Structures are given as structure tokens and as C-alpha cells.
Structure 1
Amino acid sequence: MPVFQYGADSNMISNVTFGSINNSSSVQSGNAQIYEDFTSISTDLQTGNSYLISVKGPSSTFPSDVVVFIDFNQNGNFDDSGERFYIGRLEAANPANAFTINNSIVIPANATVGSTRMRVLKNTNVEAYSNSAAPNSINSACDSDLRAGQVEDYTVMISGNNAVFPFPYCGAENVTTLTVSEISTVDFAGISNDSAMGGNSEVIENFTSVVFNASRGNDYPVTVTGGTHGQTSVSAYAYIDFNHNNVFDADEKFNLGYLDNSDPVSGQQSGVTSGTITIPVNALLGNTRLRIVKAYESSSWMGTLENLPCPSGWFIGQTEDYTINIQPENLSTTEVSKNTSIKVFPNPTTGIITLKGIKGLEKYEVYNITGQKLLEGNSEVISLESFVPGTYLLKIQTKDKKMITEKIIKK
């Protein structure tokens, strides 16, 4: 059990909110206990998911550090790697004006399922009074050199993430009237996925085995091709669960525009639209759900038909689910796809490059190593004379909507 020099008075924890836990405890000085046992209070968690946590509490004179420990392997201690989370620092305040800090905790995929102990530990940090960059004052879950604060223990019930597709995301359960109008191709991050246009497809298709690699902070072109049946108001949206909370939030959608009929399929109208997806710098790393929805939009006698991440009501369109492997900010080499049928020369170059072997060049785009687009065009001769020496990415789109990416070195 942790040892505090000055106890918990005026430095206690007053609220912990995590999952379904929302527990407020006494802030009355004079009877505040160093340790409070709330293990009878629990919340359900699922491996691989991220959960928000907030901790509130006063800090009489000095700021306070807050650390959460979870015994993921259930071995009776919190000392193992990956079992501690620094939540943040509470500024000094009396109980009536106590501050709250927020952070998130990711439940590892290999966490042992079942009833698991969680500890919330708060301690005042004297050094932080004059140095905002002072290190965390809590060394362990049973630290014997703490100044003033409190410990609260809870229970979390961990379950494995073994649910079948598309759970835990929404399916077509809220669709009352359905006409499947298919997506035929999705191009994203150098990978193209084709799917059937025979009229017999599912309303939500599972392509989560198709993995796109993308890096934080970078922009990626995306193209969607599919049936329009002659309509001009067929939209495409991308929805990406960046925070891994199993919901497509309002700030996780990308409007890719309306499909035009520029690429007709025999016997059926088919259109195409393109947009750009920016991976936020704070997106959680690892496998992330991407949902592409193509839907007919209307406001008429049929009612309001719109493009939603969870199709409902009268739905005319189709949904396809994919996986994005989100990587750190630096460019991933797996993002660069080679096509030996084309030639880019000279490479390295001092200024001018020429493209050969491309069937039906639609356009090219040149990006720097951070993902910023610097140049675009549609000719087979590209001038990089104004560019500073370095490494660049050349992204080529053909008229049949194939994406090719080449690394270019400017000397």
C-alpha cells in the first residue's frame, strides 16, 4: 500500500469517471482516508479498445500528479510493462474549486479477460509548484515516498474482442427499405480494391482483410467508383474510427463528393468521385476501421435520404468496411507501392523527370516526405527544378483509377 507523509486532507480524489464508473467520494477534511476500497464498483472493458478517463480532486498548495494502474495480467501487482498510465497533473485548488483532468487508456489485446484490479493514485508534487516541467512524482502503485494524496481501487471486467463483423459497429439493422446500389472500386493509399457489380451484393460488405497503410499527419487521395443509375445526387463519404471507440463520430467523416457518370459500366450507369483523407496527428495507432458509404441523397416524396455511417430508413446504396493500419508521423516504407511496368527517369534527378510505360495517365501529384502536396499535373514530363534537394513521393493515377506511387530523389 502507498505511504503518504501528510495524508489525504485537502488532497483527496473527489471523482473518477471511466467507462460506466462515475464515482464521487468525500472531500471533507478531517476524515479523509488514505485508501478507499471501491472494488465493488466496476465497468466492462474490451481488449483493443480505448476508453476515456477523468479524475477530479483538490490540491491544497502544490499541483498533484495522477497515475492509473491496471493489473492486465492479473498477477497481483502493477509493476509489469504497460500497466501504468500517467493521466496528468491537477493544479492547486480547494475542494470547492477542484480541477478535472482527462486522458485515455487503451486496453491491450493480450490483457487477461475477467475481473481485474484498477488503482487510481494521486500525489502532490512539490517541485511542480515552481517548475511546470517537473517529472511525475509517482514511481509505483505502492510508492513509499509520497507527500499527500489518496488511493482508490476499482474493478474492471475485461472481455476479449472476438465479436464478428460488423460488430461492434452498426450494421443494416435500422434499414426499413433497401435498394443495393453497389460500389465497384475503392482506391486509397496506393491500394485498389474491386468488388462485384452484379446486383446481388450485400448492403454491407466485409473487406476488413484489405489493409491500407497510412501515417499520422499525412494526406491521402481516395477514389470511389460505383453505380449511380443515372442520378446526380449519389454521394460518397469515408468514416474512420480514429479514437477506436467503436463509433463513427462527427469529426471522423470525410465528404468525398458526388459521383459523376464519367466511367460507365455496360448496362448500368456508373460514376466516380475523388477526395482526400487527412490522418490526424492524434489518431490512435494500429488497425482502425474505415467505412466507405455510397448513398443516394434526396429530399422528396420518398422522405429525406442521406449518407450516414449507419444506414437507416430507406437506403439506396452500399457500404464497404476496410482496415487502416495507422502508423507514426514519419513516412512508412510500406506506403510506397512499386509498379515495374512504368519507368521514372532519371531518378535521382537534378530537375526534369519523364514518365514512361503508363497506360492512360489521368494525373500525377508530388508530395514531400511529410505528406504535403507540392505539385500536380497530367503531363509525362515533370519539372522539379524549383524543389530543394531531398526525397519526394510521386503519386500517379491512371484513367482506369489505378494508383501508383514512386519515390523520387532530387539531387
Structure 2
Amino acid sequence: MKKLSTLSAVILCSMMEAQYCTPSFQYGADSNMITRVIFGNIDNTSPFQSGTTQAYEDFTAMSTDLQAGNTYQISVKGPSGTFPSDVMVFVDFNHNGNFDDAGESFYIGRLQEATPANALTINGTIAVPANAASGTTRMRVVKNSNVAAYSDPDASNSIHTGCDSDLRSGQTEDYSVSISGNNTGFPFPYCGAENVTSLTVSEISKVEFAGITNDSSIDGNSEVLEDFTTTVFNVSRGGSYPITVTGGTHGQQTVSAYAYIDLNHNNQFDSDEKFDLGYLDNSDPVSNQQSGVAVSNITIPDHAILGETRFRLVKAYESSSWMGTLENLPCPAGWFIGQAEDYTINVQPENLSTREVSKESSIKIHPNPTMGMINIETAKGIEKYEIFSISGQKLQEGNMPTVNITGFAAGVYLMKILTKDKQMMTEKIIKN
């Protein structure tokens, strides 16, 4: 956080007062004030005494650093009297002395009725444009009671600009933000881990996908988001590719793995770009941490844009309790236990008869479960097979269609098969 000297703060505030208008409220701030704002390094609790709280409060001496092109979480708390209250945030990104430009206003949400002692909190996000002007500028938080929302939950937002003169009851608080130039380094232009508020790094130790294996540390000292974008997975439209994810589970049963692929190249991970890889099997300890494996397939849709784009793999502990909700998200946020790894995926045109080749090369393993003998059937023949323990340790390999695992202990294993026409499949096998 950059600190302002007393003199610079006075000069800054004077300049801003000369430029920026002030919203007005018919009934002031009584019982409808803002009581807390959390944004970056700003965590400001303000008074809520009825009858004494001003409709406008100047907190521009408080500042937080922002990076152009990044997105940040904001929380606003405050009571609402008889009617729900709308909350808007405005940021003068181009430093022109107003909040009227496109991309400078953010509707955070609506706070329901509550007393000052039981005030509620609303959460939202502020996206800093990649072309935002560098330097210190004004951020405004406006809260206003919405009469229509009392009987209509779908009533439109009651705040229209950062300088409304016909607001009913609420408050305005102004802060400063210091914007630095566009971050062209990793993970730009994608979101990072900036919205994680409570973190335990639980690592991914191995990823096997599209013929590539990437091993990474599982010693508890890794970054929450690791940069492997120099590793390129080559895939084709319409193709289906097995993926195996190994990583720490800390003894938990609900550690999920998801792949997020920016198929439309819009620099974000949309809801239809999410691939559920399942939960990691909780198994043998590795480096003093429990380790598990998830095995699935990723099918590249026909509409995927050709060329290179971002591939993000997220392994996260999922849970919901009185302590909060833990989720697997493409942009880790809040309370996060897990790790994300970024790769590059190169989508190529559909191979000649990709689907037909896949059908001709279909692989069958039987019997499964087995007492010890396994038969592998494939139209094109076997190039190689490998058998792994559930923790990722290779136990056996070969190239014959009949496999003997009689000496294995009862349990679950993973068999990876590569055919002579370079088709690959990973399958769980059960030894009784």
C-alpha cells in the first residue's frame, strides 16, 4: 500500500474537492449509512450513530494499489431502514474529474433491511480496465434506499450516476486508488489469485494430458498459481483426450479437479469452458501429505477457436460449513485450499476422420475387476501399457495384450495404454 504524506494528502483532497461533485439525499444518512468498506488494503469502519452521521464522508487519505487489467473484490456493509438499499461503486479510471465514462461504474448489489447493529454485507468485483490511466484517482461508494424494492425484489437500481441529486436516504464515501500500468506478466490477461483471502497451498504433483507429463513439487512451498504456459498441449477439434491429475488431498475425500480452457479466446473462463475431472482418490501418503489421482477425459468441441489459448487446471478442496464455503473456481477466491496450474493448449483442425479413427482404435479391458489376468483388445495393436499405483508409482509395463497382475495386492490401479496408431487411454482397474 502506498502511503500519502500529510501534505500530499491535503493537496490531493483539495484538488479532488475542486473537481468532483457530491450526491445529495432527501433524508440524509440516518439508519442508512455505510459502516464498512473492504477493498484491497482499505478496510475502513465508519460511524453509524443515528442523527450524527454525515451524508458524505471523505476518506481519500485512504488508498490501495491496483493493477490495470486486474479484477478485485470489494465488500460494503451497512444497515437499511424500512427499504432495501442499492450499492454502487464508481472509479474515475481516466482521471477526468467525473464518473460518467463507460466502465467506471459497478453495481455491487442490494442490501436488505437491517438495523445498524445487525448490518449486512454485500460483495462484488471491480474490474480495472487494461487502459486505465496510471496514478492516483478517486473511488466513490454510494448507498441509497430503494422504495420500489420493498414490494418488488426485481426493482431497478435506484442509483444512476456518481452525482445523483435525487437520492432518497443513504451515504457517499470517497477513497483513493493508485493504479499502476498494465501487468503484462503472468497470469495477465487472466485473473490470478488476487481475490484469495485465506489460503492453504495443497499442491498438484503430476499432470498427464495429450501425450505430455508435467511433474511439479509437492513440498508445501509452491505458489498457489504456477506458470507452466511454456508447456503446450496439442489437440484437435472433436478429439477426446485422457487426463490424469495427481496431487495432495490432506486426507480429504472432496478434493476436486477441474480444467478451464479459454476456447473462445476472450481472456476469461466462461461457464461452458469448464471440464469436471472428478474427485481425487484419497490414497497413499507422499512427502508427508496424502496423495490422490483423478482420471477423466477432455473432449475439444468443434466450435473451439483454432490456435493457442490458456489451459488452467485447478485442484481444490470443496466443502460447505459454518466456517464458509470452499469451491473449485477458475479464479480462486475467498477461502481456498488447493492449487492452480496454467498451461497453453493449441487447438488444431480436426484430424482426418478423427472420430472414425477413435472408433477403430477403441480399447477394451477385461475382466475388470480381475483376480489377476487382464486382456487388452484394440484394433490397431498395443504400442505400450503401463500400470501405476493410485499414488502415481509405476509398477509394471509391457506391450503384450495379456497382462498378469496376480502378484498385486487387492486394490485400485491405473492402466495407461498407448496403441500403435498413437491413441491413448487411461483406465482404472480393480484387483480383487
Residues 65, 398 of structure 1: alpha-carbon distance in 2 compared, 3 angstrom cutoff: farther
CA distance in 2 between partners of 1:126 and 1:133 (Å): 12
Counterpart contact for 1:256–1:276, Cα < 8 Å: no
Which whole-Å deviations, capped at 9, do the CAs of 1:314-335 have from their partners, x for residues lacking one?
xxxxx963158xxxxxxxxx98
CA distance in 1 between partners of 2:64 and 2:82 (Å): 33
Counterpart contact for 2:277–2:297, Cα < 8 Å: no
The unaligned stretches of length 5 or more in structure 1 are: 171-180, 187-191, 198-202, 214-219, 227-235, 245-251, 260-271, 279-285, 294-307, 311-318, 325-333, 345-354, 364-377, 381-396, 404-411
Alignment equivalent of 2:350, drawn from 311, 327, 338: 338
Alignment equivalent of 2:145, drawn from 116, 124, 144: 124
Residues 107, 129 of structure 1: alpha-carbon distance in 2 compared, 3 angstrom cutoff: same
**Which residue of structure 2 lines up, in the alignment, with residue 223 of structure 1?**
243
Counterpart contact for 2:311–2:342, Cα < 8 Å: no
Question: Match of 2:149, SS?
Answer: helix
Alignment equivalent of 1:60, drawn from 75, 81, 106: 81
Question: Match of 2:133, SS?
Answer: coil
Which whole-Å deviations, capped at 9, do the CAs of 1:103-139 have from their partners, x for residues lacking one?
2223233322322211100011111111111000011
Residues 254, 182 of structure 1: alpha-carbon distance in 2 compared, 3 angstrom cutoff: closer
**Which residue of structure 2 lines up, in the alignment, with residue 206 of structure 1?**
228
**Which residue of structure 2 lines up, in the alignment, with residue 78 of structure 1?**
99
Question: Match of 1:322, SS?
Answer: strand
Give the residue type in structure 2 aligned to 1:98.
A
Give the residue type in structure 2 aligned to 1:223.
I
Counterpart contact for 2:63–2:178, Cα < 8 Å: yes
**Which residue of structure 1 lines up, in the alignment, with residue 66 of structure 2?**
45
Q: TM-score, normalised by structure 1?
A: 0.53
Residues 292, 90 of structure 1: alpha-carbon distance in 2 compared, 3 angstrom cutoff: closer
Q: TM-score, normalised by structure 2?
A: 0.50
Residues 158, 7 of structure 1: alpha-carbon distance in 2 compared, 3 angstrom cutoff: same
**Which residue of structure 2 lines up, in the alignment, with residue 360 of structure 1?**
361
When the two chains are superposed, the root-mean-square deviation of aligned CA atoms in Å is 4.8
**Which residue of structure 2 lines up, in the alignment, with residue 87 of structure 1?**
108
Q: Residues 260-271 of structure 1: matches in 2 within 5 Å? A: none
Give the residue type in structure 1 aligned to 2:71.
S
CA distance in 1 between partners of 2:80 and 2:315 (Å): 47
Question: Match of 1:40, SS?
Answer: strand
Give the residue type in structure 2 aligned to 1:101.
I
Alignment equivalent of 1:111, drawn from 123, 128, 132: 132
Which whole-Å deviations, capped at 9, do the CAs of 1:142-184 have from their partners, x for residues lacking one?
11221111100111222332345799779xxxxxxxxxx986x
Alignment equivalent of 2:313, drawn from 290, 301, 304: 290
CA distance in 1 between partners of 2:423 and 2:184 (Å): 35
Give how far 1:274 is off. Answer: 3.0
Alignment equivalent of 1:161, drawn from 176, 180, 183: 183
Question: Match of 1:37, SS?
Answer: strand
Which whole-Å deviations, capped at 9, do the CAs of 1:362-397 have from their partners, x for residues lacking one?
48xxxxxxxxxxxxxx999xxxxxxxxxxxxxxxx9
CA distance in 2 between partners of 1:155 and 1:254 (Å): 44
CA distance in 2 between partners of 1:356 and 1:89 (Å): 54
Counterpart contact for 1:237–1:292, Cα < 8 Å: yes
Which whole-Å deviations, capped at 9, do the CAs of 1:247-296 have from their partners, x for residues lacking one?
xxxxx99656699xxxxxxxxxxxx9732579xxxxxxx95743699xxx
**Identity among equivalent pairs (%):** 49
CA distance in 2 between partners of 1:210 and 1:69 (Å): 40
The unaligned stretches of length 5 or more in structure 2 are: 1-21, 195-204, 216-221, 247-254, 262-267, 269-275, 284-292, 300-308, 317-336, 365-376, 380-416, 426-432
